[in-house]
Structure 1
């Protein structure tokens, strides 16, 4: 059913309430696992809907397409500034992530759902498995929330 008046979006306050409620009920580690898995499913579904599954596109094009879908003109999950690729590593530079929103400087909060969404998108685009990590945070002095994805053998 479509929400005629409210549309497709919900506030960050409500989304963060889901996260903290899950942490209270399940614990921090189980919640992180669940949110990353949910994000990966979202990323896969997103790239399928955009026709990007298995696409042979540059990292610059991936960055702009993910930013368009997830950023200001999309769902507003995060902004994707750039994607860098080396032999077995993809680095994605994001900002204004939903996970960091409202958090105080120095907070240990990790971007779980957002990491998962980008992770699932990249796996679906490249048809490869990755191991993902949140390596830099705007909450701890970084200019971006940086996600690194290492290719699994």
Structure 2
């Protein structure tokens, strides 16, 4: 069975698992590879997920207006989708594209002031954005609610 079917990937337990288990994977990989090595792995894994998600939605190369990216992504990965994060806003800031999010799985349970970055979620949005636009970007997690921000803010600069 593939991820594009409408049946659960697991017939007994369904498609979802807990944040506790996902965070254990993150911490275990960080312990093995170090935070920088883990960031590379999770960002890349997220990019693949985002690209595949856009393909499954039939949006590859659609180049929808930036302001419409947030509701499209939120429908897929927000409360009504996989619950990875709530995508709240997408807009242009100069030549950059900014995506704002709340309740990211990567930062669940983190203490205020934590320097943890949201690498998997950043990668998923990054891969989705590149698949939608056909452009290549440099993505960065620039603000966090853990460090005084009002949202998780991802900024994508064109290369």
Question: Would you say same fold, with TM above 0.5?
Answer: yes
Return the match for 2:95 from 68, 82, 88. 88
Alignment of 1:1-12 (within 5 A): 2-12=9-19
Quick one: which of 42, 48, 57 aligns to 1:41?
48
Q: Establish whether residue 146 from structure 1 lines up as the match of residue 146 from structure 2.
A: no
Q: Who is 1:128 aligned against?
A: 135
Give the corresponding residue for 2:63.
Answer: 56
State yes or no: 1:69 paired with 2:76: yes
Give the superposition deviation at 1:85. Answer: 1.3
TM-score w.r.t. length of structure 1: 0.96
Q: 1:103 aligns with which of 89, 94, 110?
A: 110
- Specify every segment of 5 or more residues in structure 1 that has no aligned partner in the other structure, as ranges: none
Offset of residue 87 of structure 1: 4.4
User: Where do 4+ consecutive residues of structure 1 move more than 2 Å?
Assistant: none
Cα separation, 1, equivalents of 2:64 and 2:115? 34
Between the aligned partners of 1:87 and 1:106, the Cα distance in structure 2 is 29
The gaps in structure 2 that reach 5 residues or longer are 2-8
Structure 2 residue aligned with 1:25: 32
Superposition CA RMSD, Å: 0.9
- TM-score, normalising length from structure 2? 0.93
Aligned-residue offset at 1:56: 3.1
124-133 or 86-95, which moves further after superposition? 86-95
Moved more, 53-62 or 75-84: 53-62
Contact 2:63 2:134 in 1 (8 A): no
Confirm or deny: 8 A CA contact 1:100 1:138 kept in the other structure.
no
For the residue of structure 2 that corresponds to 1:99, the secondary structure is helix
CA displacement 1:79-129 (0-9 Å, x = unmatched): 011101144200000000011100000001000000000000000000000
